[in-house]
Amino acid sequence: MSAPFTLVLATRNQGKIKEFRRILDGISQGTINLVGLEEFPFTTEVEETGTTFKENALLKARSICKETGLPAIADDSGLCVDALDGAPGILSARYAGVHGDDQANNARLLRELENAPEEKRGAHFVCVAALVLPDGREHVEEDFFHGSILFAPIGAQGFGYDPLFRPQGFAISTAQMSAEEKDLISHRGKSLRAIAPHVFSLLATLG
């Protein structure tokens, strides 16, 4: 068996890294060596200056691919709430002002929806996964995860807004699901499964 291809996961978010590895490892069956940015401490923090999830995902994947010289995959994802006209959207990770402060972000979301009745709390997650190769080839996939926002956080699994998000057709929050249950229906799980065939076919052409 030939040596596995190395693919860089362009994130320092440990929750995302675990999720990426869990999903792609299950699909790749050992053909891809997935490494996070902890293996590349010299890489710079990519400023998310894009106005869409797609732009930000490509910004991150392109930057990390250029800095490491390796194929890179990145995602940009966020929560869009109907009653807030799609907010927090691309600002989801820094909704409360500090990037990655899940507790503060959840607290602000609950304050913003304090007077919203259940029928006005519809929401969906978006995930855009972007693959960039050193030769300039790129591929992007987008998917969604529909549900609603709870009145209080429930559950201890997952990360981000998981304790506040109840998937459509379920009576529990995403944070009450097992990792395997979440992967099957989540925006990230679906977008990564969609991009996986392109990862394999494009990496195979690098020889």
- DSSP structural state of residue 88: B
Rounded CA-CA distance 56/77 in Å is 9
Q: How many other C-beta atoms lie within 10 A of the C-beta of residue 62?
A: 18
Contact 91, 81 (CB under 8 A): no
Q: How many other C-beta atoms lie within 10 A of the C-beta of residue 143?
A: 20
Contact 54, 140 (CB under 8 A): yes
Q: How many other C-beta atoms lie within 10 A of the C-beta of residue 9?
A: 24
Residues with active-site annotation: 76
Q: How many other C-beta atoms lie within 10 A of the C-beta of residue 40?
A: 16
Helix (H, G, I), strand (E, B) or coil at 108: helix
Long-range contact set of residues 171-177: C-beta below 8 Å, sequence gap at least 24: 174/147
